Structures are given as C-alpha cells and as structure tokens.
Chains A and B, each alone.
Chain A
Amino acid sequence: MTAYIFRRLLQTVGLLFFLSVILFSLVNAAPGGPITAYAGRRPRPEKIAQLKRQFGLDQPLPTQYLYWLVGNDWTTIDSNGDGIKDSAGLRKGVLRGDFGFSYRTRKPVLEEIQSRLPNTVYLMSVTMLVALLIAIPLGVYSAVKQYSSFDFFATTFSFAGQAIPEFWLGLILIIVFYAWLKNPWTGEPLLPSGGISSLGSGFSLSDRLAHLILPVVTGTLGWIAWYSRFIRSSLLEILPLNYLRSARARGLTERIVVLKHALSNALIPIVTLIALDLPYIFTGAVLTETVFAWPGMGRLYYQAAIDRDYPLLLAVLIIGAAFIILCNLIADILYAYLDPQVRYE
C-alpha cells in the first residue's frame, strides 16, 4: 500500500508538471500578452517594454516558465532595458510558494487567495454538509420503499434538481425571498440578496445565517439530487444480497438490517464520491458566488478572468488541479481502506 501511494504521488507530480506547462503556455500565448490588461487603455510603448521587463515577459517562453516555476533570484536580470544584466531577480517561483503578483491589485497572488479562501470554505462546507444530511435519508428511504409514491417523487425531484441551472435558481430565490416576501414586523426583505454579512454592523450570528441561507439552498439542491440518486442505487444493489437475508433470518429488525448492515456498505462508494467533490471547497462555485456577490474563490477567479489577471488565474487553476489530483488519490486510498476486497499492487 505504501509503495502504491508513493507511486501515485510520483505520478501526481508528473501530471501537475504537464498541466502547468500547458496552462502556462495557454495563458502566455494570449495575443498582446497579459500585459495589455495591466498597462491601461493606451499605454506608451516604453511603458509596455518596462512592464514586460519587470514581469520577465521579455524572456522567451521556456525561460519565463522556468522563472515562474523556480524563481529568478539565483540569476541576474536586465531591469532598465540597456542590455546589461544589472540586478538580481526577486521572484522565488511557484515551488517555493511564490505565485507572483496580481496584475490588478499588485498584491501577492497567495495573499489574494488567502483573503478569499475562508469564505469559500465556509460556504461550500455548509453546502456539502446540508446536502449529505438531506440526501442520505432521502436516498435510503426511497431505496427501501422502491417504486412507492415516495420513491417516485424523490426520483422526480432528483431529475429536476439536476436540471435546474444553479445561477437561475439563485435569481429565482432572490425574487421570492428578497423582492416578494417581506419580514412582517420590519417590512424589510425577508432575506438579504447577497454578500456574506451586512455592511457596517458588527458580527451577528443571525445576520451571518440569514446571508447563508439562499446561497446554500442554491448550491445544495444539485448535490442533494445527485447524492440521493447515487445512495439509492448503491443501496438497491446491496439490499438483495444474502448476508442481509441471513441478518434478517437471525431475527434482526429491518431497521437495523438497513441502517447498520446495508448502509455501512452502501456508503463506501459515497465516501469516495464525496472525496472527489472536495476540490469544490477550494475552487468554490463561480456561478453561485457571482449571483450572491459572495466574496469567495469563485468570484475572485471570475473577476480575474474579466481583468485578465493571468498570475491569479494560473495560481487558482494549478492549486485547483493539485486539489483534484490529491482528492482522487484520497478517494482511491479510502476505497481500499473501507472495502477490503479492493487491493492495489
């Protein structure tokens, strides 16, 4: 198992290297280069040349990639364009945790990410938790009562839930709970239409919760639909198995048979499914965050795409891909750990 994990980690490094080359060339192949977004509307040519030197964009692409990856503080660069390498580079490179500076705010990219990440982790973990708390009972009950009217409605709900575009659902919820429904005592909108908390007031739990409700409902519906359907079919595969028949024959109640004996096996694929969805806790949901003006990673990325803030875009993509690969590995290991039938050489 250790050898397997080690080999997978090695593959991960290779895969990330490959992806970073592709994403880096993609971003830097954009015409006009990323600099046009930074230099303003009608930049003077000298200004562009100076900025290009400053960001190392005057170098050939492979050199740029090298500087991006390992930094340029070990070599000297030409800072004033006179052809003489006069000063030491200042970049440390991605491998040492330096993702460069945001073109827009001129702050370190990692600082930008750190300021947004907690908000996304907060929103997405609540969303996933709510999804599981609803999806598991829903899936279990409709599997146990297969073809009942409850199952029919749960299945229909699941099909509908997977088909609703989340940004549209968000807008509809704002129409209903912000524009139409009013708080009967104060006459204010029942729920806020966006943001993580009200401006100007201090921390208040009820205010935080009020801001959380609509984004969580918007984001969780698709996941409830998807998880509950998965749990239902996973349980349906297990329910007719002999070991459950023998458990029943030993006189165990149906409740214990389903909730203890069947569910513990049915949840194995779910655990790996959740592990595969964990990267969203980092990347966030661009559409939901946009609709609700939620100051998280998704909106950060969206804004960066509008501004063509390539260092930021690249950093989010690379870290996002690293999360995805890592979670894939975790899913595989968990699967082997939970299901003794699975063995890796």
Chain B
Amino acid sequence: MIPQPSEFSIAIWKRFTRHRGAIIGMVIISLIILLCIFAFLSPFNPEKSSLAEKLLPPSSAHLLGTDALGRDLLTRILYGGRISLTVGGIAVAISLLIGVPIGALAGYYGGKVDSILMRITDAFLSLPSFLVLILLAAILREVELPIFQRNSVLTISLVIGALSWMTFARLVRAAFLTLREMDYVSASRALGASDRRIMLGHILPNGIGVVIVEATLQLGYAIIQEAGLSFLNFGIQQPTPSWGNLIYAAQSHFTKYPWLAIFPGIAIFLTIVSVNYIGDGLRDAFDPYKVMEKVGEWT
C-alpha cells in the first residue's frame, strides 16, 4: 500500500536522519544561514572603509582580520554569504521553473512535443556552460534593463539558472515517461481529470524525490558558479560583497595577507560540502533500497 503523504514524509525524515553526514551538513548550513541573517548584529559596517585599520591580521577585535580598505572581513563574509546563498537559491528556483515544465510536457505528451523539447535541451547541454556564463555576464554588464540591473543578484542568478535547468528537464521527463503509464493515471483520466490536474496533482508529486535531490546538488553548483564568475570580476560587483568577489579582491595582495583569500574560501567550502552531504542523505532517504542495504535491514 502506498503510505499517506504524512507517513511518507515521516519515513523519509527518519531515513534522512540516519545519514550522519547529512545531519552534520544540516547543522553547519543552518549555522551559516543564521549567521548570515544576523550579520547586522556585527558592530562593523560591511561597506564603509576605515583606512586606519586596513589589512589587520585576525585578532580579538577583528576575528578574521580586515581588508585593504579596513573593513572587518568576518562582517563582509557574512554579508557576502547573504548574496552568495541568495544567488544560489534564486538560480535553482529559476532552473526549476524552466526545467520542470519542459520535462513534464515532454514526458507527458511524448511524440513531437517531446522531440522538440529534448532537442532544445540537447542544444543547451552541448554548450560549454561556464564560457557561455562568462559571455552572458560580459554582455549583460553593458545593458540597461528595467529589473535586471547590471551584475545585480537577480541578473547573475538568472544567467546561472538559465544555463543549468537541463538536468531537471531530463529527470522530470524520465519520471513522467514511466508514471504516465501507471494504472492510477489512467484511472484519473477515465474519471475526467484534466491533463493539467493529472500532471500537477498526480504525477509530479510522485516524481518529486529526484527533483529535490537534484535541486540540493544544483544549489551547491550554483554557489560555486557565482563564486567563479565573481572571482573573474564578471559577477557581483564591489562594494557589495559576495564570497567570490571577496577572493577576487584578495588576489592583489594575498601572499602577504593570506587571511583575505583563505576565509571566504572556507565559507564556500563548508557550504558546498554541507549541501552535497545533505543531497546524498536525501538521495538515500528517497531511495529506500539503498539505505536498507546499507544498514543491513532487508535480509
């Protein structure tokens, strides 16, 4: 019998909490998010320079030292975390918004719709994505658009999201291809349910597991992409801090003042590791056979 949604999510949560790495990842990522949210409690201003205090090494006054303009590095990392995590979140939301409908329509209707949508997906997959990301960021840097200001959080997220929806499309398509043949789908169709209702209400919830797992992994990927782009100075621009442009700014004197390069990178590293472990835990949680095999439950 298929468990009720509530039981189902409890079962998934139980399996998820058995994954030690995922739990540690959850704790670390929650801490990072909380610290970023409460960054305003810091006594220092993230953007105002005070040249008297420039390039101080880590001390009790400035836990992670100060940068070339005398700004507290910890404060800037926390404010930068807001930017980097927001870019990651919006980018994943955008690629979900593009990828899931494309995959759903292709898988549900099949035939011509499927082959056209999948050709488009293939085209995007055959682009050298990071290079296109650089190109788009370079072009958008010169454009005045109403909502998408130059190098704003929204612009960068859009560009990253628009180049990373393909996995979602493929996964959702595969899920729809198998699920649309199920008896319960034919049953609801016989009862007169509309295509829209069948897709959103009956098929999508059953394919949601893979999407959630992939979204978690994509979050880490998007954060790394933003960091790389900002490191090349094509992403978020100073004085707004992001983890990538903090490292970019550190570049000119990082051998003398290594903390400027080291700490923002640790923030990125901890975030990505945690997110990947959470993704791994979720994958196990949605794939009961694998986890049962692990704990030796099914013998």
Contact = CB atoms under 8 A, between A and B. Distances in A.
A165 B254 contact: no
Contacts of A13: none
Contacts, number: 125
Given A19-B123, A286-B134, A287-B232, A172 B265 contact: yes
B134 A301 contact: yes
Mostly, the B contact residues are: helix
Contacts of A171: 247, 250-251, 254, 261, 265
A165 B269 contact: yes
A27 interface: yes
A55 to B, nearest CB: 18
A235 B234 CA distance: 41
Interface stretch (B35-43, B135-143, B165-173, B187-195): B135-143
B159 to A, nearest CB: 12
A328 B128 CA distance: 13
Contact of B138 (A163, A283, A305): A305
Interface residues of A, number: 45
Given A18-B123, A26-B135, A175-B254, A167 B128 contact: no
Interface string A287-310: 100100000000001100110100
How extensive is the interface on chain B, given as a class? 35 or more
Given A15-B123, A160-B273, A165 B227 contact: yes
Contacts of B277: 159
A182 to B, nearest CB: 13
B261 A175 contact: yes
A32 B135 contact: no
Contacts of A313: 135
A274 to B, nearest CB: 17
A305 B134 contact: yes
Given A163-B269, A168-B268, A31 B142 contact: yes
Given A31-B143, A32-B142, A165-B227, A320 B131 contact: yes
B228 interface: yes
A30 interface: yes
A216 B277 CA distance: 27
A184 to B, nearest CB: 19
Contacts of A279: 128
B207 interface: no
Nearest to B217: A162
Interface string A307-328: 0100001001100110011001
A172 B261 contact: yes
B224 interface: yes
A18 B280 CA distance: 37
A179 interface: yes
Contacts of B138: 305-306, 308
B272 interface: yes
Interface string B117-151: 00100110011101110111011001110000000
B21 interface: yes
A175 B255 contact: yes
Given A15-B126, A165-B224, A317-B132, 16 more contacts: A19-B127, A26-B136, A26-B139, A32-B142, A167-B228, A167-B231, A168-B247, A168-B268, A171-B254, A172-B265, A193-B255, A305-B138, A308-B138, A317-B128, A317-B131, A317-B135
21 contacts: A15-B119, A19-B127, A31-B143, A31-B144, A159-B21, A160-B273, A165-B228, A165-B231, A167-B247, A168-B247, A168-B268, A171-B254, A172-B262, A175-B261, A283-B128, A283-B131, A286-B134, A317-B127, A317-B128, A317-B135, A321-B128
